[in-house]
Structure 1
Amino acid sequence: MTAVRATFFSALVAFAGIAGSGCARSETRSAPAPAASGAIEGAIEGAIEGSILHPAHAIPPMRICAIGSGAPNAAKRVCVDTRRDQGRYRIAGLPADAYVVIAETTDDSAMYRVGGHMQQVQCIRAPCPEMPKSVVVGEGATVDGIDLDRFYDARDDFPSLRNGR
């Protein structure tokens, strides 16, 4: 149980510390050294997929990223862009690791601009914001059912996923 908590904490630390390092269009950003990201050369890559449960009548186009564990400047980030009304997403090319999955709309006029695969957090004092739920991807595994189920107008603790911003 301690290893699971440590992996989840590492994913949250990596998620919380990444700021403004947008990912290129459907491009992979790797850590400077394979050992830092947990990737093993020649390993079979996995994928994360799920539904986009945006509350708007028409689902806006968005960028969706899986952000791996590790130091914020070394965490692997793989992103995909979706089209308007696209109800599902798939992020492939992921080495075995723990990831958080977050999204940001690319349409500035959209409400509920940021979201992710979230979980309710228990805390002593309210309000307690929902936090990204860690997703563990094994070597060559596809993890389905990772739905983007919560969206917000803004979250200061989410990194920007847009290039150059």
Structure 2
Amino acid sequence: MTRRAALLAGVAFTLSACSSKFISYDGPQVTRVEVQKANRRMYLMHHDQVLEAFEIQLGFTAEGHKQFEGDGRTPEGRYTIDRRNPNSSFYLSIGIDYPNAADLEFASSRGLKPGGDIFIHGWGDKRRGRGEDWTAGCIAVSNREMKKIYAMVEDGTPIDIFP
């Protein structure tokens, strides 16, 4: 291989590595995620220390706790990060274990389904601005922010979602 070909191959490899949506994180463990719906803020916490803070977008009906499939609300309460989707339509996503037993019981008592598939996810392919809620009940951040969150937050991490 000529020197020029080797240089071009190295540049191509470096650029492809930069475009990866997966990064590593070796800082303090995220022990809890806190979401404040009213302030449209999410915090990645190490005990009482804020490691990162993000502006968020919520379900298109932002007020109130998610109760039924299709209500457009983001859940409120304590849940757990329970899965991840590296092939999400919204760039990357990490799952929230909604509905819990109380959510299931409430929806069932009304003869309705509680809904599900609630995630923290990126914006996907669409260019979105801050300030307007648009998800079906999920928590959205920019793709760049989601890359960081995906690396930092492990499955099993508690998430507290406040009104």
TM-score category (smaller protein): under 0.3
How high is the TM-score relative to the length of structure 1?
A: 0.28
Q: Greater share of strand residues, 1 or 2?
A: 1
Higher alpha-carbon Rg: 2
Q: Greater share of helix residues, 1 or 2?
A: 2
How high is the TM-score relative to the length of structure 2?
A: 0.28
